[in-house]
């Protein structure tokens, strides 16, 4: 299918000199041409093309736990009660790209897999960090060699798992040993495996290492990643944000981030904040947006539109849903945009149509949390971007408080860019 859609993002320059002082460039225009992207074409029968991930490892290494914790919201402590997997289970999950994760039993071999390895974009092999013996390493090497011959482009990822069980020193020593043994065994087999790009990650379901590792695995599968990163970079520059993440709300995997390095503390903070908003979001509602809210997908818990806390002195700030902000921006005479934002309001209108259509989903909850009250302080902002994706950004509190309008405009344009990228991705996979 030929895909000739072009995503254009134009950020408007604020008209007031005061606001312009915060604008780093006189005008930012960026054109994203996705024509050349999206290598995954739809199936001939027009069914959805899913990116396949193979989850392998010995018995009780933690494969099902990883899948359940990330994609089914299972609390890590309850993984103790999971039954052993007896046959391959295929789990589907929809985020920026549609995924199909194959959870395999511990005794799966290349022959018993029942599908060519060329079908898979990524192979994740899970090894218990205390399992330094021959068996898991032999099995991993067997799969690596088969994958290399059938599909040299496959991403090979090794999760050295249950890492929280060891003290720091032992953890890194075992990690190093597993890494070394796998490399040695591959080299024994053939020198051609020396340059094989194998990625090792230390993981555990009891902290955020599994989210960080799986996010990095996911990044390699997203064709539109450079465009999402560009949008985040532009958002950060224009909003003076030191760090911003685009998260998949349910799994709490980040699908993209800006160019600044990811430090684990900030990533963990964002993950925790998202978990809190996911849990308590249902307790809040926006009266003006309740009409549209009814049509949000039931799988997503809409987070609060009113939430702002400080550790010492909780205080609430009213945060308008972005649908209202967007209307204000659209109706503002000084706002210069050439994007095609819808212009209808979310305010309830008398319904005379006997077969009413659901209104366009335009309720975008937002929230803000002050991280430390000391000056200048930092605020963590949350903005829903699509029903699946949310933007979490750190902002200097003075910028958040005094330049709120500018940040909101940047969020609106960021959202439009991401939504268009998602549409292109869906079109390329045959879902639109």
Ligand X SMILES: Nc1nc2c(ncn2[C@@H]2O[C@H](COP(=O)(O)OP(=O)(O)OP(=O)(O)O)[C@@H](O)[C@H]2O)c(=O)[nH]1
Q: Please report how close the Cβ of residue 132 comes to ligand X at its closest, in angstroms.
A: 16
Does residue number 85 form part of the binding site for Mg ion (CB under 5 A)? yes
Q: Please report how close the Cβ of residue 365 comes to ligand X at its closest, in angstroms.
A: 32
Binding mask 332-351 for ligand X (x = CB under 6 A): --------------------
Given the complex with Mg ion, which of 42 and 106 has the nearer CB atom? 106
In terms of Cα–Cα distance, which of 402, 397, 395, 400 is closest to 374? 397
Q: What is the SS3 assignment for 399-421?
A: HHHHCHHHHHHHHHHHHHHHHHH
Q: Binding partner of residue 423 among ligand X, Mg ion, none, CB under 5 to 8 Å per kind? A: none
Q: Site for Mg ion (CB under 5 A): how many residues?
A: 3
Given the complex with Mg ion, which of 54 and 406 has the nearer CB atom? 54
CA atoms within 13 A on the CB side of 404: 13
Give the contacts of 274 (CB within 8 A, at least 6 positions apart): 247, 249, 252, 382, 390, 392
Does residue number 91 form part of the binding site for ligand X (CB under 6 A)? no
Does residue number 65 form part of the binding site for ligand X (CB under 6 A)? yes
β-bridge partners, 123: 54, 156
Does residue number 378 form part of the binding site for ligand X (CB under 6 A)? no
Cα–Cα dist 340/363, whole Å:
17
Q: What is the SS3 assignment for 363-409?
A: CCCEEEEEEECCCCCEEEEEEECCCCEEEEEEEEHHHHHHCHHHHHH
Does residue number 62 form part of the binding site for ligand X (CB under 6 A)? yes
* DSSP designation for 225: H
Given the complex with ligand X, which of 66 and 380 has the nearer CB atom? 66
State which H helix or E strand residue 313 sits in: none
Q: Binding partner of residue 201 among Mg ion, ligand X, none, CB under 5 to 8 Å per kind? A: none
Of 59-67, 112-120, 276-284, 303-311, the window that binds ligand X (rule: CB under 6 A) is 59-67
Given the complex with Mg ion, which of 29 and 72 has the nearer CB atom? 72
Dihedral (Cα; 344, 348, 350, 355), 10-degree rounding: 80
Tokens of 261: 């390095």
Tokens of 323: 């649908």
Given the complex with ligand X, which of 114 and 314 has the nearer CB atom? 114
Of 33-41, 61-69, 161-169, 213-221, the window that binds Mg ion (rule: CB under 5 A) is 61-69
Does residue number 61 form part of the binding site for ligand X (CB under 6 A)? yes
In this structure, what are the phi and psi dihedrals at residue 418, rounded to the nearest 5 degrees? -65, -40
Does residue number 132 form part of the binding site for ligand X (CB under 6 A)? no
Cα–Cα dist 381/319, whole Å:
11
Binders in 310-329 for Mg ion, by CB under 5 A: none
| 165 contacts 158 by C-beta, under 8 angstroms | no
| 205 contacts 164 by C-beta, under 8 angstroms | no
Does residue number 165 form part of the binding site for ligand X (CB under 6 A)? yes
Given the complex with ligand X, which of 105 and 405 has the nearer CB atom? 105
Given the complex with ligand X, which of 51 and 64 has the nearer CB atom? 64
Given the complex with Mg ion, which of 128 and 324 has the nearer CB atom? 128
Q: Please report how close the Cβ of residue 206 comes to Mg ion at its closest, in angstroms.
A: 17
Strands 253-257 and 243-248: antiparallel
Binding mask 96-115 for ligand X (x = CB under 6 A): ---------xx---------
Dihedral (Cα; 147, 148, 151, 154), 10-degree rounding: 80
Does residue number 65 form part of the binding site for Mg ion (CB under 5 A)? no
Q: Please report how close the Cβ of residue 209 comes to ligand X at its closest, in angstroms.
A: 9
Given the complex with ligand X, which of 139 and 267 has the nearer CB atom? 139
Cα–Cα dist 213/199, whole Å:
10
Binder of ligand X out of 37, 40, 63, 211 (CB under 6 A): 63
Q: State whether the Cα torsion 165-171-175-177 is positive or negative.
A: negative
Binders in 193-212 for ligand X, by CB under 6 A: 204-206
Q: Please report how close the Cβ of residue 107 comes to ligand X at its closest, in angstroms.
A: 8
Given the complex with ligand X, which of 103 and 416 has the nearer CB atom? 103
Q: Please report how close the Cβ of residue 101 comes to Mg ion at its closest, in angstroms.
A: 12
Which residues make up the interface to ligand X (CB under 6 A)? 57, 59-65, 79-80, 82, 84-85, 105-106, 161-162, 164-165, 204-206
Contact positions vs Mg ion (CB under 5 A): 63-64, 85
């Amino acid at each position: 299918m030929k895909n000739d859609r072009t995503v254009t993002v134009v950020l408007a320059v604020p008209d007031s000199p005061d606001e312009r002082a915060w604008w780093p460039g006189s005008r930012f225009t960026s054109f994203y041409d996705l024509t050349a992207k999206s290598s995954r074409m739809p199936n001939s029968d027009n069914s959805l093309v899913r990116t396949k991930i193979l989850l392998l490892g010995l018995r009780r290494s933690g494969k099902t736990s990883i899948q359940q914790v990330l994609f089914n919201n299972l609390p890590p402590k309850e993984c103790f009660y999971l039954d052993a997997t007896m046959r391959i289970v295929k789990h589907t999950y929809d985020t920026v790209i549609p995924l199909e994760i194959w959870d395999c039993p511990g005794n799966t071999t290349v022959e018993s897999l029942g599908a060519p390895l060329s079908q898979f974009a990524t192979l994740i092999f899970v090894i218990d960090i205390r399992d330094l013996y021959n068996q898991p390493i032999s099995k991993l090497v067997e799969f690596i060699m088969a994958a290399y011959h059938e599909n040299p482009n496959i991403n090979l990822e090794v999760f050295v798992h249950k890492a929280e069980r060891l003290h720091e020193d032992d953890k890194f020593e075992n990690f190093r040993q597993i890494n070394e043994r796998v490399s040695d065994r591959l080299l024994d087999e053939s020198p051609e495996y020396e340059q094989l790009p194998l990625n090792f990650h230390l993981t555990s379901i009891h902290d955020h290492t599994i989210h960080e590792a799986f996010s990095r695995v996911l990044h390699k599968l997203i064709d539109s990643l450079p465009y999402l990163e560009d949008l985040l970079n532009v958002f950060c520059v224009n909003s003076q944000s030191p760090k911003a993440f685009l998260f998949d709300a349910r799994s709490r995997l980040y699908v993209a981030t800006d160019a600044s390095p990811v430090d684990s503390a900030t990533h963990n903070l964002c993950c925790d904040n998202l978990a809190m908003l996911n849990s308590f979001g249902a307790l809040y509602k926006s009266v003006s947006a309740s009409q549209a809210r009814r049509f949000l997908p039931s799988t997503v818990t809409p987070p609060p539109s009113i939430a702002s806390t400080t550790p010492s002195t909780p205080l609430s700030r009213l945060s308008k849903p972005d649908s209202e902000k967007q209307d204000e921006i659209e109706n503002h005479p000084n706002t210069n945009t050439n994007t095609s934002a819808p212009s209808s309001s979310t305010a309830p209108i008398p319904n005379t149509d006997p077969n009413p259509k659901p209104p366009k989903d335009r309720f975008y909850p937002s929230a803000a949390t002050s991280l430390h009250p000391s000056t200048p302080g930092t605020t963590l902002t949350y903005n829903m971007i699509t029903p699946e994706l949310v933007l979490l950004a750190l902002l200097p509190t003075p910028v958040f408080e005094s330049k709120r309008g500018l940040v909101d405009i940047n969020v609106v344009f960021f959202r439009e860019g991401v939504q268009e990228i998602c549409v292109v991705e869906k079109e390329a996979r045959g879902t639109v």
